[in-house]
Structure formats: structure tokens, C-alpha cells
């Protein structure tokens, strides 16, 4: 079984998230997702409209996602990779290079972001 691991906030799910999750899942046979906790989001200076439980329920309903676990810290990724025996760590290329330190533990892959869609844009359009 080839396990793919990725992380994110996944607030107000949109096609950019779905395409990332689908491409990641298609690289293997299992996709596990580290979902940023509400507390961790505050540390990322990102406030999510939907809380962790809500975002988790949405992610778990997606065919490409096999398991969702909480992301509480920046430092937990090596332990997560070991716990899930992850083969590939995948993120959108806005993170290019930021997680290369994980390459001793698994393959690190940055995928092109989907252009012209973001949760920030959606939130801004809601407040107009």
C-alpha cells in the first residue's frame, strides 16, 4: 500500500483543494490528511470560518481522502510520516522548498496550485 500524506486548513472547500487531494490520492493507494486545528490556524495567522470538526467532516466525505488527523504543530510531520509509513509528502507549490527537510523520511512532492481560486478570495467576495 502506497501512502500519501498532506496537510492543510481546507476551510470553505473549493476546487483547488479538491484537485490537490485528487492528484495526491492518485499518486498512491491511501491519502491521509493532517488537518490544521483551530488553535494551529491561529498560529498560522489564518482564521478559518469553519471550525475543525466541521472541516474534518467535510474532508472525510471526499472520496480521495482515507483518513483525517489533527495538525497541532509544525514539528509533528516526521512523527506523522512514521506513524502512517507515508511514502510521499505532497503540498501545493506555494510551499515549494519549505518541507524539503522531510526528504530523509519520504519523497517530497510539490504540485502546481490551481490558479484563480482561494478561500481568501471567497471570503472577500462574501464581504462585498
DSSP letter at 83 equals H
Among 12, 30, 38, 46, binds ligand C2G (CB under 6 A): 46
The DSSP letter of residue 127 is: T
Contacts of 64 by beta carbon, 8 Å cutoff, 6+ apart: 18, 21, 22, 24, 25, 26, 31
Closest approach, Cβ 103 to ligand C2G, in A, equals 16
Applying CB under 6 A, does 118 fall inside the site for ligand C2G?
yes
| Min dist. Cβ of residue 47 to ligand C2G (A) | 11
Q: Which of 19, 44, 98, 123 is catalytic?
A: 44
Active site residues: 44, 46
Amino acid at each position: 500500500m502506497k501512502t500519501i500524506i498532506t496537510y492543510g486548513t481546507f476551510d470553505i472547500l473549493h476546487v483547488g483543494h479538491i484537485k490537490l487531494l485528487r492528484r495526491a490520492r492518485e499518486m498512491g493507494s491511501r491519502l491521509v490528511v493532517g488537518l490544521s486545528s483551530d488553535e494551529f490556524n491561529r498560529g498560522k495567522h489564518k482564521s478559518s470560518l469553519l471550525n475543525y470538526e466541521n472541516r474534518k467532516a467535510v474532508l472525510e466525505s471526499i472520496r480521495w481522502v482515507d483518513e483525517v488527523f489533527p495538525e497541532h504543530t509544525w514539528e509533528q510531520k516526521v512523527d506523522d510520516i512514521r506513524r502512517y509509513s507515508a511514502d510521499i509528502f505532497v503540498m501545493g507549490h506555494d510551499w515549494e522548498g519549505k518541507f524539503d527537510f522531510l526528504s530523509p523520511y519520504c519523497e517530497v512532492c510539490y504540485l502546481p496550485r490551481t490558479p484563480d481560486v482561494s478561500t481568501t478570495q471567497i471570503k472577500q467576495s462574501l464581504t462585498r
